[in-house]
Amino acid sequence: MAYDAQSDSPSPLRPGLAPAPPHGHDPRRHHHGHDDDHDAPPLVDISGWLNDSPAWLISAAMHLLLLIVGALLLVSVNSSDDLTIEALFTEDVGEQLIEEPLDLSAALEVELDEQMLTPTDLPEVADPLATPEPAPLMPDAPAFATDALTTPTLGVALSGREPGSREMLLKSFGGTAATESAVMAGLEWLIRQQQRNGSWSLQGPYDDGARVENQQAATAMALLAFQGAGYTPASAEDSRYRRAVEKAWPWLLETQLDDGSFFRQGANSHRFYTHGQCTIALCELLSMTGDEQYREPAQAAVDFLVRHQATEGGWKYDPGEGSDTSVTGWALMALKSARIAGLHVPSDVFVRIGEFLDLVARVDGSRYGYMKPDGYTTSMTAEGLLCRQYLGWAREDFRLRQGVDYLLDNRPEWRRGKRDAYYWYYATQVCHHMGGEDWRAWNSVTRELLPEQQVKRGRERGSWSPDGDRWGSHGGRLYITCLSIYTLEVYYRHLPIYQDVLTGGGF
């Protein structure tokens, strides 16, 4: 409120407000030499009324005057023009598990009250797309667990997505209201892009689509985003999110070929990226719903991967030929998700994947390249380390420790030449499983950066622009948006692999 400098202090009484002295003598007028207005009547003379009125009446009048003034001020405030303020913020930080252990038994008892894919035309390079978080092994399981170990993990790895568990894990692992709001805004954007037949497209109708179409890949990416937040066709809540998933799955299952493959369109380099993501989404669906109608197509998809593992132990673009770290990572996560769903996966498949990783390992196994002759990169190191975590490396392994230090030296930055949603997604998972200071150091950046850079208004609100991202021009807006959603779902998408992180000792 502004004040007039001339009215900050009380002014003297005006002559006309004072009663005239007896006999018409006013010394003030003589002092100033003015007596020509001696006979002028006073402007207002309330002295008689004040002298004759009882005290209670004067008090009542003053209170009435104050009420009138207050009412006028209130009307003035309420009649001002509307003011719209848009605040871009990050909410209070979640409570980290530093002293109190995380009681998973309580979390898992919460009842449901309801409730990536390959861009097209990717060159033969290391960073196409990231995979959603896979299901963990039992913390004390051997590196290459047998099928007998799948049963104890059923219902645990994905239980953080359930209402109650989700909120608790979000708070405990450092999520915020801003990160969760960004996830929901991203899902809203995906709903607006869904086509009438239930599928999604890599090329549009949104701005900045991919170079080549691949509806199977786009649909798998979108489904993984919804399922990461706990939404399936079996969700109790009749929500827009459940209906989007419910509409998409029949379309995707109808595109599966007789040999179990999901690849239908796109560049040949998309084959196992597409199939890997569709398999992950289908295995998650089976685990989350327990619906047996999904078991046969899921096992067929897994068998297709197993049949076409290359001699080196990985996968690349053609069935049974060649291996690279990027495609192999997708395949491994699909096979681990299959184990969580109780599907059959031969143990020697995992042994051979470990042998391939040995071929592309660099710096004593702490960093990874795309193919055997290549040098290491941040993205391939993050993916390679995540594979090692799921294949049984201990949290204290010196190779893992050195690799994580390398990731922490390359934390996310939102500027051209540094943006890499593919790398950020994999490194986020690695650090989340590590817990402790590693996770706090990484999470303190991503939970601020991604919500801040999300599109806030216009037809693309809720998405993330691919402009400036290393693979944005190949994958397009849906690719970047889904990877960003997965990254912000990390708090509850899968439980951390290492038991001491779950019980509070590593966080």
Tens digits of per-residue pLDDT, 365-404? Answer: 999 999 988 899 999 999 999 999 999 999 999 999 999 9
Place 164 in a pLDDT band, splitting at 50, 70 and 90. Answer: confident
Residue 456 pLDDT > 80, yes or no?
A: yes
pTM of the shown model? 0.73
**What pLDDT does 483 receive?**
97
**What pLDDT does 110 receive?**
31
Place 64 in a pLDDT band, splitting at 50, 70 and 90. Answer: low
pLDDT digits (tens, 9 = 90+) for 92-146: 444 443 333 344 333 333 333 333 333 334 344 443 443 333 333 333 333 333 3
Q: Which two tokens stand for residue 224?
A: 């993984």
Helix or strand (DSSP H, E) at 40: none
Place 41 in a pLDDT band, splitting at 50, 70 and 90. Answer: very low
Of the chain, the percentage scoring pLDDT greater than 90 comes to 57
- Tell which wins on pLDDT, 191 or 267: 191
> How far, in Å, CA of 248 to CA of 254, rounded?
10
Domains and CATH numbers, the chain: 104-502 (1.50.10.20)
Say which range, 264-273, 348-357, 475-484, has the weakest mean pLDDT.
264-273
Say which range, 113-117, 315-319, 475-479, 500-504, has the weakest mean pLDDT.
113-117
Residue 125 has a CB neighbour count (10 Å cut-off) of 18
- Residue 184's nearest CA partner among 241, 111, 237, 232 is 241
* Long-range pairs for 163-166: beta carbons < 8 A, 24 or more residues apart: 163/110, 163/112, 163/113, 163/114, 163/115, 163/230, 164/107, 164/110, 164/111, 165/107, 165/108, 165/110, 165/492, 166/229, 166/230, 166/492
Residue 81 pLDDT > 50, yes or no?
A: no
Residue 478 pLDDT > 80, yes or no?
A: yes
- Residue 294's nearest CA partner among 351, 233, 380 is 233
Q: What is the mean pLDDT of the chain?
A: 77
Residue 264 has a CB neighbour count (10 Å cut-off) of 15
Q: Is the dihedral angle over the CA atoms 297, 303, 307, 308 positive or is it negative? A: positive
**What pLDDT does 44 receive?**
43
